Chain A
């Protein structure tokens, strides 16, 4: 409970004694480039193969001749949009971006760089963390959109190469009874997950004490706690919004 309280106080401290808009704008753009460009390869790779594997495994499980083939791509579409793109990619995102945020801030803490900012009269939490959260919230939904698209493309190519579904059937399944709200739901989830990963990881890194060993621990703990928060938020959002 004490840690949760400290986390909320930390979030509150991001919005007091801020620097100029120009300072945050530049830092946020830097974070966007680092988060977006830095993660795109891994996100693209994972989502492409998730789509491909989902197509093949769904086809493998659909043995009844009564079920039409286009159900394969329908399953790929709904799984991708509702769960795989926002949630599974969020877990990967926590491992890559979250651990990097926690270890970066942890290293700054133990090498007194955060103290140096504080002594200059700069709100170090706000200066260092707010751009990371903004960058994450801006970039992660874009990564989710790319992941969703590539996952569907991956499924299409896998179907084509293995002949489990024809291109026409695949496209038909993708368009069949499409509910646009699932995209809205996925984007809401992506905003929430992006905030959770960035804020929890920054919190863990910012309050690191000790040396190199503790930086490693903070990084591991940031990933673990971000993943737990993502899964809890996933369940709560599904209950609330679906």
Chain B
């Protein structure tokens, strides 16, 4: 479980996050949604420690992370897997080397065991046999799946996904969403997904946090979408005509 308390963040004179609090539970995907520029990715980076918040606290289970010393932070970070928007695969390494990287650097596992684990993870994300391809030789959807494999290879307890569907076709997006959902449930990990993709919201939105201009305006799950009573949320969710028709059905 991850808990955040009163997170504030500004860049120069522009305030991005204005006191966001919330809890992200284990075993189900937690979504942070909102329009572009509302601070979703900044919030995610504050949680994982890539950007220090100006104010507020982040707890990974019982460990306070924001002001923890370097050793505690390193210990927590080694439990974190993250899928970046563009995959963030290392260009000079093959698919296999990319997935094996956390094991190479962070563990003392024997080579054969590492290879077994990598093959298991690649098979789990549907990329068995793609070991020796370079990132430049695979599609965007495959890059995301390699990113997921790399994120879970070290038995991470926390999975963060920054816009996992950006740049993907709807079918591949659903595949990625399903994969995130399955992995979260199967390994009982805490997963936070930042997205503005409505298909994801409807598909895997078990716990949704809606951000608007740096503030949390609504929290709930996909079953509550129709009657939130929050105007800004309705404008975001029912932005297109299909969704508007659905609402009036």
Q: Which A positions have Cβ atoms within 8 angstroms of B?
A: 16-17, 19, 23, 107, 111-113, 115-116, 118-122, 127
Q: List 13 A-B contacts (CB under 8 A).
A: A112-B84, A112-B85, A113-B89, A116-B82, A119-B50, A119-B77, A120-B105, A120-B106, A121-B73, A121-B74, A121-B76, A121-B80, A127-B105
Known: A118-B77, A119-B49, A120-B101. 17 other contacts (CB 8 A): A17-B70, A107-B91, A111-B86, A112-B84, A113-B88, A113-B89, A115-B84, A115-B88, A119-B82, A120-B80, A120-B154, A121-B74, A121-B75, A121-B76, A121-B80, A122-B105, A122-B106
Q: Contacting B106 at CB < 8 Å: which of A17, A116, A121?
A: A121
Q: A19-B105, A23-B105 are in contact. Are A119 and B80 (CB under 8 A)?
A: yes
What are the residues of chain A within 8 A of B78 when measuring CB–CB? 120-121
A211: min CB distance to chain B, Å = 12
Asked whether A112 lies within 8 Å of B70 as measured between CB atoms, the reply is no
Which has the most chain B C-beta neighbours within 10 Å: A113, A120, A122? A120
Interface residue range, chain B: 20 to 34
Q: Distance in Å from the Cβ of B170 to the closest Cβ of chain A?
A: 24
| A116 engages B74 (CB within 8 Å) | no
CB atoms of A115 and B50 under 8 A apart: yes
- In angstroms, Cα B160 to Cα A58, docked, is 66
Shortest A109–chain B CB gap in Å is 11
**A120, closest chain B residue (CB):** B102
Judging by beta carbons under 8 Å apart, are B90 and A113 in contact?
yes
Residues of A within 8 A of B160 (CB): 119
CB closest chain-B residue, reference A107: B91
Shortest distance in angstroms between A212's beta carbon and chain B's nearest beta carbon? 13
Q: Say how far B192's CB is from chain A's closest CB, in angstroms.
A: 13
Is B48 an interface residue when CB atoms closer than 8 A count as contact? yes
B-side contacts of A122, CB under 8 Å: 105-106
**A41 → B minimal CB distance (Å):** 22
The CA-CA distance from A23 to B78 in the complex, in Å, is 17
Q: Which residue on chain B has the smallest CB distance to residue A118?
A: B50
**Which residues, 38 to 69 on B, are CB-close (under 8 Å) to A?**
45, 48-50
Q: Which residues of B contact A120 (CB under 8 A)?
A: 77-78, 80, 101-102, 105-106, 154
Residue in A closest to B147 when the chains form the complex, CB atoms: A116
In angstroms, Cα B25 to Cα A81, docked, is 67
If the complex has contacts A16-B70, A112-B86, A116-B88, are A121 and B50 also in contact, measured as CB distance less than 8 A? Answer: no
* Residues of A close to B88: CB separation below 8 A: 111-113, 115-116
Specify the chain A residue showing the minimal Cβ separation from B73: A121
Q: Render B91-117 as a binary contact track against A, CB cut-off 8 A, 1 for contact.
A: 100000000011011100000000000
